Amino acid sequence: MRYVMICASPDCEFSKTNNYELGVDQFCPACGHDFLWKCPHCGRPLRDKGALFCSGCGKPLKDKKCEDGHGDSATG
Ligand SMILES: [Zn+2]
Ligand SMILES: [Zn+2]
């Protein structure tokens, strides 16, 4: 059975289709962030590569960037 995986990082647009028979990938090979394979809000399996919003509930799939200073000294 085929399913779509999308990188959960807001900075990464990597997505791909995968087969259950080949095993479930947990992390993005492009950046090492967690993969999403279903909507974190309603649990609907992802169907579109590159989707940014859930087609079931309309909420954004990716986490927003954390804008609160968290102790890490960011360069930029
Ligand atoms: Zn990624
Ligand atoms: Zn949803």
Domain ranges of the chain: 1-59
3-class DSSP assignment, residue 55: coil
Neighbours of ion ligand 2 (CB under 5 A): 39, 41-42, 44, 54, 56-57
13 alpha carbon – ligand 1 mean position (Å)? 6
User: At which residue do the structure tokens 């028979």 appear?
Assistant: 21
Give 12 or 66, the one with higher predicted confidence.
12
- DSSP letter assigned to residue 31: T
In angstroms, the CA 68 to CA 66 distance is: 6
Q: What is the pLDDT of residue 63?
A: 75
In angstroms, the CA 68 to CA 45 distance is: 30
Check whether 56 has a pLDDT greater than 90: yes
Give 23 or 76, the one with higher predicted confidence.
23
23 alpha carbon – ligand 2 mean position (Å)? 23
Q: What is the pTM of this model?
A: 0.74
